[in-house]
Amino acid sequence: MKGEGGAVRAVQVILPYHLRNLAGVGAEVTLEVDAPVTVRSVLDALEARYPMLRGTIREYGTGQRRAFLRFFACEQDLSHLSPDLPLPDAVAAGREPLLIIGAIAGGSGDEG
Tens-place pLDDT, residues 18-57: 999 999 999 999 999 998 999 999 999 999 999 999 999 9
Tens-place pLDDT, residues 42-98: 999 999 999 999 999 999 888 899 989 999 999 999 999 999 999 999 999 999 999
Residue 13 CB partners (closer than 8 Å, separation 6+): 28, 29, 30, 31, 42, 46, 97, 98, 99, 100
Whole-prediction pTM? 0.85
Predicted confidence at residue 61, as pLDDT, reads 85
Report residue 110's pLDDT band, with 50, 70 and 90 as the boundaries: low
Predicted confidence at residue 1, as pLDDT, reads 38
Predicted confidence at residue 7, as pLDDT, reads 84
